[in-house]
Amino acid sequence: MPRDPLIGLVGKPSSGKSGIRSVPIELLDVAGLVPGAHQGKGLGNKFLDDLRHADALIHVVDVSGTTDAEGKATRGYDPSVDIVWLRSEIVNWILGNLMQKWGGLKRRHIAIKATAVETLQNQFSGYGSNSAIVARTLDKMQLKQPLQDWTDDTIASVVNHFVDEKFPTVIALNKIDHADSDKNVAKIAKMEKPERLVLCSAISEVFLRRLVKQGFVRYIPGSEFVDTRDDLIEQGEADGGGLKEMDEKLKQRIENLKDMVLYRFGSTGVNQVLTRASELLGLVPVFPVRNIGTFGGGEAGGGGGGEKAAVFRDCVLVKKRSTVGDVYRKVMGDAPLAYVETVGGVRVSEEDEVGVGKNDILSFKVGRA
């Protein structure tokens, strides 16, 4: 199974100082899927087995309608269908496995007087689940009847809620700059929760990153801005930032990309897909720094070899409701902790929670208090 590291932008410092930090994530490029996968069609079994290793799913949808359900080139295809049947395949895979064992599972549940969480976790562990995920699933459903009295409809509902909890999904609506995309985006937007949708143009992102490597543009992934040599000269950089001169054809391509993607949608959307996935998982970016004054690793004010610019040294992702102490142990391990400071040199407790804009910039002082 390919596992490709990718850098995703996750946040900006909440204090107003400049800087963006990235964190590495792992993308699992899973096998392709066709309708009927839960019955073993195509590479269905491989795809569904791959899902066990994922914390979140990114479903890339060709919103231009130029690719059908089997990946063949076409025109006028309704991409909303892909969203429906993909979820259906996952649900039917889990539901089918569960129903095959339900009779024996129910008898054992009664005999050992297990809780519903215990019984379901025994079945769902193979999908990468844990007891907390199962418990959240049942809590949200607020079921009153005991497991042995569940109807087929109740079991199907449990599986649907479990899929939502175990496989939070971002739907990346790709090829947004295609002429046929607007109507498809509008249809899908009526079907899905807005927090699940991200508009993107992967080919635009690839193009811009290639130009950066070739020295033609200045571009930060996830940004709505791209600067050419001419742009930087206009902004006062006499040498144009050291960028190469472009021919008229390349200049026009960049202007078209700006108009069709960056100015219209605010970015190519590729990095936003990764950020949205971390948000669905409830992950919080926290910035551990050595110097709380510069947000860097040296001494304040740049003296003694310290850092002159305010820049984050690192970023880690932690789960919601994590404490300062949880972050410390993730970063520093078992080293003794003297005290912790946040923005302004304010001391915080190990029991204080972290969140976006709350104790998310931390300086740990190692030693005995």
pLDDT digits (tens, 9 = 90+) for 217-237: 999 998 999 999 999 999 999
Tokens representing residue 221 in the block: 């992934």
Residues 171 and 212 in one domain: no
Long-range contacts from 98-106, C-beta under 8 angstroms, 24+ separation: 98/123, 98/155, 98/159, 99/152, 99/155, 102/155, 106/147, 106/148
In a shared domain, residues 287 and 172: no
What pLDDT shows up at residue 41? 59
CA–CA distance, 172 with 87 (Å, rounded to integer): 15
Query: Looking at residue 19, what is its pLDDT?
Result: 56
**Is residue 215, in this structure, part of any structural domain at all?**
yes
Which domain CATH number covers 353?
A: 3.10.20.30
Residues 192 and 307 in one domain: no
pLDDT at 40: 60
DSSP H stretches of helix in the chain: 44-50, 80-111, 116-124, 131-141, 152-166, 181-191, 202-214, 229-234, 248-257, 263-265, 270-280, 324-332
The answer as to whether 142 is a domain residue is: yes
Each residue's pLDDT tens digit, 30-84: 766 666 665 665 555 666 677 778 889 999 999 999 988 777 899 999 999 999 9
Query: Among the three residues 181, 199, 217, which one is the final residue of a domain in this structure?
Result: 199
Cβ-based burial of 235 (10 A; exposed 0-12, middle 13-18, buried ≥19): exposed
Task: Please report the pLDDT score of residue 11 as a whole number.
Answer: 38
Does 211 reside within a domain? yes
269 belongs to a structural domain: no
Taking a C-beta distance cutoff of 8 angstroms, is the pair 30, 42 a contact? no
From first CA to last CA, the distance across the chain in angstroms is 47
Here the tokens at position 360 are 């998310």
Q: Are residue 307 and residue 325 in the same domain, yes or no?
A: yes
Is the CB of residue 23 less than 8 Å from the CB of residue 5? no
**Looking at the structure, do residues 153 and 299 belong to the same domain, yes or no?**
no
304 in the same domain as 255:
no
Asked if 101 and 236 sit in the same domain, the reply is no
- Identify the residue whose tokens are 């009779």: 103
- Average pLDDT for consecutive 10-residue bins of the chain (369 residues)? 32 43 75 62 63 87 90 91 89 91 96 96 91 95 94 97 94 95 96 95 97 96 94 93 95 96 95 90 87 65 41 76 92 88 93 92 83
Round to whole Å and give the CA distance between 295 and 114: 51
Would you say residue 294 lies in a domain? yes
**CATH code for position 64:** 1.10.8.470
pLDDT at 89: 85
Distance CA 330, CA 285 (A): 13
pLDDT of res. 20 = 64
Query: What's the number of domains the chain is made of?
Result: 3
| Residue 200: how many other CB atoms lie within 10 Å | 25
Chosen domain end from 171, 199, 227: 199
**Full DSSP string of 285-296:** EEEE-SBTTTTB
Task: Assess if residue 320 is contained within a domain.
Answer: yes
Task: Give the distance from CA 170 to its chain's centroid.
Answer: 7
Whether 257 and 132 share a structural domain:
no
Query: Are 167 and 43 in a shared domain?
Result: yes
Structure tokens at 205: 């992102």
Domain membership of residue 16 (yes or no) is: no
Task: For residue 272, tell me if it sits in a domain.
Answer: no
pTM comes to 0.79
Judgement on whether residues 176 and 293 belong to the same structural domain of the protein: no
Residues 241 and 332 in one domain: no
Q: What range does the domain containing 332 cover?
A: 282-366
Q: Provide the residue type at 31 as one letter.
A: A
CA distances from 150 to 3, 68, 179, 253 (A): 40, 38, 49, 59
Domain boundary pick from 183, 199, 215? 199
Q: Say yes or no: 140 and 248 in one domain.
A: no
Pairing of strands 3-11, 283-288: unpaired
